[in-house]
Amino acid sequence: METVISMKNKFSDTKVMIGRSMRLSFRSLDTMITTIAMPIMLMFVFVYVFGGAIETGYDNYVNYLVPAIILMTIATGGTYTSVRLSDDINKGIIDRFRSMPIAKSSLLSGYVWTSVVFNTLSTVLVIVCSFLMGFRPNANVGEWLLTIGCLFLFTLALSWISVLSALVAKTVEGAASYGYLVLLLLFISSAFVPTDSMPKWIRLFAENQPMTSILEAVRNLLMGEPVGNNVWISLLWLSGLLVVTYIASVQVFKHKTS
């Protein structure tokens, strides 16, 4: 009985933390612009400005581009999770929460699940806009479900990476720096152009880093094409990152608050 009550308290405390973080996110105009408007504007530029000059093997470049914009949207949203947590740590807000009778596990999980919810909303908006730009997926129900699962795992893994970044960084700027690494990996991948068009030494890196596997898995699933081993490679990468960053985040948090 005590275990059930404890679980209910943890769930309730996490829900309160999510509500607080969501309110802060929607009240921040710069967050809304950077995490939602910017990816949509980039999609507009790539489709209508650069799309005609890029050969991808697809009749419509937007069908090739959408997975990259989705991952960029999630990565950008994860950066703001890192910034918010780091800011709360530096301002002493986390210490105030720790002094209250709330479940300590909700302090980190609240930021993580806020990231998941916010990024889900952002992703849905990006997909709606992509349909207006001509995006036409060929995925069946099973492929859509597998795509959603991959994107959910990607969001969860990046959320814990952002939490870990905030915990180990000494400044808000330092906490945000991890996002540049994720975006760099996106640009040096098959996100915007096929890797065949790259010089050999860059292509070797691009084809063997996790972002390319994730992109190809999502792209092939959405377009109803054979996915090969990309889905399983992506799931292995994301599961490994999720487990490692979760354990590391919990341990670092315990060390910082002990």
- Per-residue exposure over 3-32, b if at least 16 CB sit within 10 Å of its own CB, e if not: eeeeeeebeebbeebbebbbeebeeeeebb
Residue 4: predicted pLDDT: 40
Band of residue 149 on the pLDDT scale cut at 50, 70, 90: very high
Residue 57: predicted pLDDT: 76
* C-beta separation of 112 from 81 below 8 A: yes
Q: How many whole angstroms separate alpha carbon 110 and alpha carbon 164?
A: 14
What DSSP state is assigned to residue 60?
A: S
- With tokens 């180990």, the residue in question is 168
Q: How many whole angstroms separate alpha carbon 243 and alpha carbon 249?
A: 10
**Closest-CA residue to 158 (of 235, 242, 83, 224):** 242
Amino acid at site 131: F
pLDDT tens by residue, 125-147: 899 999 999 899 998 999 999 99
What sign does the dihedral 3-8-9-13 (CA atoms) show?
positive
pLDDT tens by residue, 173-226: 787 777 778 888 888 998 888 888 889 889 999 988 889 999 999 999 999 888
Residue 254: predicted pLDDT: 80
Q: How many whole angstroms separate alpha carbon 135 and alpha carbon 199?
A: 29
**Closest-CA residue to 52 (of 111, 134, 169):** 134
Q: Is 46 left (phi over 0), alpha (psi -120 to 50) or beta?
A: alpha
Residue 31: predicted pLDDT: 65
* pTM of the predicted protein model: 0.87
pLDDT tens by residue, 56-112: 778 888 899 999 999 988 888 888 888 888 887 888 777 777 776 666 667 788 888
What the block records as the tokens of 60 is 């419509």
Q: How many whole angstroms separate alpha carbon 147 and alpha carbon 152?
A: 9
SS3 53: helix
- Alpha-helix residue ranges (DSSP H) falling in the chain: 2-27, 29-32, 38-45, 61-90, 93-98, 105-132, 141-168, 172-187, 200-206, 210-222, 230-257
* C-beta separation of 237 from 231 below 8 A: no
pLDDT tens by residue, 14-56: 666 766 666 766 666 666 666 677 888 888 888 888 777 777 7
* C-beta separation of 225 from 141 below 8 A: no
